[in-house]
Amino acid sequence: MASKIFINLPVKDLERSVAFYGALGYRFDAAYTNENATCMIVDDNILVMLLVEPFFATFTPKPVSDARAATEVLLALSMEGREAVDAMVARAVAAGARTPVPAVDHGFMYQHGYEDPDGHMWELFHMDGPPPQA
């Protein structure tokens, strides 16, 4: 059964987030966009709801994490190839992201990532084959 995943991320400045992710090539669904939120389309089954922090807070009884101070989640996204990983990281850095860790080549998998302006960690990877057997 195919499902869609909606990832909800708190953001401090929605306009800044839209500009950042737009520079990475993502599109947004106007039907789910207002002053509190927008729906970023990663692909047909992966959607990211960027929610301003006060609005995000209405969905949970817990405090909203400051992603710049603590890691609340690692968002891992597969890419078509190593070049696609590096190109996306380069676009992210040019748009204002930082790279807290260097690229890693595990042999069967290549990964690199970025931290967006709100501190959310995105890990991009490409797998060349199955992992080694233990």
- Report the distance separating Cα 47 and Cα 39, nearest Å: 6
Domain definitions of the chain by residue range: 1-61, 65-134
The single residue listed with the structure tokens 């992210």 is: 92
Q: What is the pTM of this model?
A: 0.91
Are 27 and 46 in contact by the 8 Å Cβ rule? The answer is no
pLDDT in tens, 92-117: 999 999 999 999 999 999 999 999 99
pLDDT value for 100: 93
Two domains, one topology: 1-61 and 65-134 = yes
CATH topology of domain 65-134: 2,3-Dihydroxybiphenyl 1,2-Dioxygenase; domain 1 (3.10.180)
Tell me which CATH homologous superfamily contains domain 1-61: 2,3-Dihydroxybiphenyl 1,2-Dioxygenase, domain 1 (3.10.180.10)
Instruction: Find the mean pLDDT for residues 5-33.
Output: 97
What percentage of the chain exceeds 70 in pLDDT? 99
pLDDT in tens, 16-28: 999 999 999 999 9
